[in-house]
């Protein structure tokens, strides 16, 4: 199986972000109060098809990332993301349809974010927060099935320690919110295999559609209409030091969504629609990625 098929899948499934209200598919710079925790859970469902070859490959992948966030101070917050993943590929071998799949814990990510700039006005805030962390090899990367060792991208984990850095900028008012984030992850080698690095440029605009006007007292629940944009670039993989020219590429997703935001919890759903997929070589294309989840303040 070409590795590039699933490298994009991993990128799309690993977007689980931290806890504050804000974008659905990437990180914001919104505040996390000192001593406050947030639990976030998501279900991400991906489908890929469009194989023009006789293999007629189809990929379905599910990821359920749990995110725990904690405010060490008003400026410094720590985050942990632990995903459960299920990856399945159906493929024609000869006259038979064959399935290879794996499931289990994926690779956990741990990172810290520091608010380096904060400008508060009535009902309005602008924040800039860099973040840095590490993807850790908590997922299995040597799972086997009947034909043998699963291809590395189909494993639930990469086996590698992969550092990443980024910066998030958020402007939020009572009526709307605008976010952008740029990040880079340097993937390292494990078991002779190295995924290509990943760079992301994300944007999000959220507009309060309900309530249309705010009451003079209290904290009402907000309903936001959300439109996000995700530009993801993946470098080519390397197997035993040899570059795989049929891996990596660039994807641009448009993500319409909806959020219901209260004091204690957020409910949200969105669908990522690939607007542009420029993958190296021939590869399966992503049909859609649906995500839904909640966040809970404690």
Partner 1 sequence: MRILQSFLFILMLFAAPFGAAMAGDTGQTATIVVNGLSCPFCAYGLEKHLKKVNGVEDVNIDMKHGKATVSLKPGTQVDDAMLREAVKKAGFTARDISHN
Can you give the binding site for partner 1, defined by CB under 8 A?
Answer: 20-21, 30-36, 71, 73-75, 115, 118, 120-125, 172-174, 177, 214-222, 261-266, 295, 297
Rounded to the nearest whole angstrom, what is the least distance from the CB of residue 219 to partner 1 in the complex? 5
Are the C-beta atoms of residues 111 and 79 closer than 8 Å to each other?
A: yes
Rounded to the nearest whole angstrom, what is the least distance from the CB of residue 122 to partner 1 in the complex? 5
The CA distance from 151 to 100, in Å, is 10
Rounded to the nearest whole angstrom, what is the least distance from the CB of residue 168 to partner 1 in the complex? 14
Which CB, 74 or 105, lies closer to partner 1?
Answer: 74
CA distances 153 to 111, 168, 236, 269, Å, are: 23, 28, 13, 27
Q: What are phi and psi of 169, to 5 degrees?
A: -125, 130
Rounded to the nearest whole angstrom, what is the least distance from the CB of residue 229 to partner 1 in the complex? 21
Which CB, 146 or 217, lies closer to partner 1?
Answer: 217
Report which of 28, 19, 27, 65 is spatially closest to residue 45, judged by C-alpha positions: 65
- Collapsed DSSP state (helix, strand, coil) of residue 282: coil
Rounded to the nearest whole angstrom, what is the least distance from the CB of residue 38 to partner 1 in the complex? 9
Dihedral (Cα; 106, 111, 115, 120), 10-degree rounding: 30
The CA distance from 126 to 132, in Å, is 20
Q: 173-183 as b/e, with b when 16 or more CB fall inside 10 Å?
A: eeeebbbbbbb
Which CB, 118 or 143, lies closer to partner 1?
Answer: 118
The CA distance from 285 to 281, in Å, is 12
Rounded to the nearest whole angstrom, what is the least distance from the CB of residue 15 to partner 1 in the complex? 19
Which CB, 217 or 242, lies closer to partner 1?
Answer: 217
Report which of 217, 209, 124 is spatially closest to residue 173, judged by C-alpha positions: 124
Q: Is 158 left (phi over 0), alpha (psi -120 to 50) or beta?
A: alpha
Rounded to the nearest whole angstrom, what is the least distance from the CB of residue 120 to partner 1 in the complex? 3
Which CB, 31 or 157, lies closer to partner 1?
Answer: 31
Which CB, 71 or 274, lies closer to partner 1?
Answer: 71
Which CB, 54 or 217, lies closer to partner 1?
Answer: 217
């Amino acid at each position: 199986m070409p590795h590039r098929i699933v490298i994009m899948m991993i990128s799309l499934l690993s977007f689980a972000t931290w806890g504050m209200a804000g974008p659905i598919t990437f990180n914001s710079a919104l505040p996390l109060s000192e001593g406050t925790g947030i639990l976030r859970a998501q279900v991400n469902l991906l489908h890929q098809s469009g194989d023009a070859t006789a293999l007629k490959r189809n990929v379905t992948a599910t990821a359920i990332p749990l995110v725990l966030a904690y405010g060490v101070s008003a400026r410094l917050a720590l985050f942990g993301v632990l995903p459960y993943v299920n990856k399945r590929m159906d493929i024609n071998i000869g006259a038979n349809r064959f399935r290879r799949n794996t499931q289990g814990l994926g690779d956990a990510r741990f990172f810290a974010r520091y608010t380096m700039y904060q400008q508060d006005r009535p009902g309005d805030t602008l924040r800039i927060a860099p973040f840095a962390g590490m993807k850790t090899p908590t997922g299995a990367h040597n799972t086997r099935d009947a034909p043998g060792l699963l291809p590395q991208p189909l494993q639930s984990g990469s086996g590698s320690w992969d550092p990443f850095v980024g910066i998030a900028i958020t402007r939020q008012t009572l009526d709307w919110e605008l976010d952008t984030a740029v990040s880079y992850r340097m993937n390292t080698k494990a078991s002779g295999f190295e995924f290509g690095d990943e760079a992301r440029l994300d944007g999000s605009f959220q507009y309060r559609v309900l309530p249309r006007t705010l009451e003079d007292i209290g904290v009402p629940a907000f309903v936001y209409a959300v439109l996000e944009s995700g530009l993801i670039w993946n470098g080519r993989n390397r197997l035993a030091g040899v570059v795989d020219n049929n891996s990596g590429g660039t994807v641009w997703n448009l993500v319409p969504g909806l959020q219901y935001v209260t004091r204690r919890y957020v409910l949200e759903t969105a669908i990522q629609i690939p607007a542009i997929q420029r993958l190296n070589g021939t590869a399966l294309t992503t049909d859609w990625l649906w995500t839904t989840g909640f966040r809970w303040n404690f």
